[in-house]
Amino acid sequence: MKTITIEGQLRTGFGKTATRQLRSQELVPGVIYGGAQEINFYAPATAFKTLVYTPSFQLAEVKIDGKTYRAILKDLQFDKVNDHLIHIDLLELVEDKKVIADIPLKFVGSAKGVKDGGKLITKMKSLKVKTFPKYLKEQIEVNVDNLELNGNIRVEDVKEEHYEILNSPRIPVASVVLTRQLKQEEATTGPAPGTVGAPATTAGAAPAAGGAAQPAAAAPADKGKAADKGKGKK
């Protein structure tokens, strides 16, 4: 895993005035916590750029007064007006103490649903995990080979040894959805005549074009009336 080295100095002055003075010199105050003691320090703003302005998960080695602290990034503060970094929080790594970190996801493979005409949609960029520092790594690989059309990979489907994943297990991580073209094709394609789903012909339906309508058969009651009329004439 990539490690960023930062040369810092212990802070001796605190309060708003001392903090403003540091920032006026393009120095960023910070704190390292989680170890035996909390370390307040400062370093040039340029020293943090590689650590801060990246989507990658990295370690930081902060060298202060001859000591080196291994840490991970936990929190940042930016100026609301000019968006400059104004404070940084780092969590010190202690070998026998678990830490919580956001590890980026890397999707690998070729989804079956994409081969069938769908589109892969990634819904999460990282997972929050709890683990020992020795198991921290740059990314978690998620294989999508078996992901079918309209299918999902959820948090609970991601298995990573030594990691306790803290995100809700039912949240989708990646999906394969219908493309607009595939939706249109399904909408315009109907069932063939004579197949299941084709409309059935019902009794009393209108005759086919050009066909003559057949007269209805006389009811038995009509025949009886005609016979009575014949007897009366005799």
**pLDDT mean for each 10 residues of the chain (234 residues):** 94 89 94 95 95 94 96 95 95 96 96 93 97 96 95 96 97 91 68 47 45 46 47 44
d(CA 61, CA 68): 6
User: So what's the pLDDT on residue 180?
Assistant: 73
Per CATH, the number for 100-185 is 2.170.120.20
- Coil, helix or strand for 87? strand
User: So what's the pLDDT on residue 1?
Assistant: 87
User: So what's the pLDDT on residue 7?
Assistant: 96
Domain ranges of the chain: 3-93, 100-185
User: So what's the pLDDT on residue 154?
Assistant: 97
User: So what's the pLDDT on residue 193?
Assistant: 47
Cα angle vertex 130, ends 129, 132, to 5°?
125
Within its chain, how far is the Cα of 99 from the centroid? 23
Domain 3-93, CATH number (from 1.10.3720.10, 2.40.240.10, 2.40.70.10, 3.30.70.20): 2.40.240.10
88, amino acid identity: I
d(CA 133, CA 123): 27
User: So what's the pLDDT on residue 185?
Assistant: 66
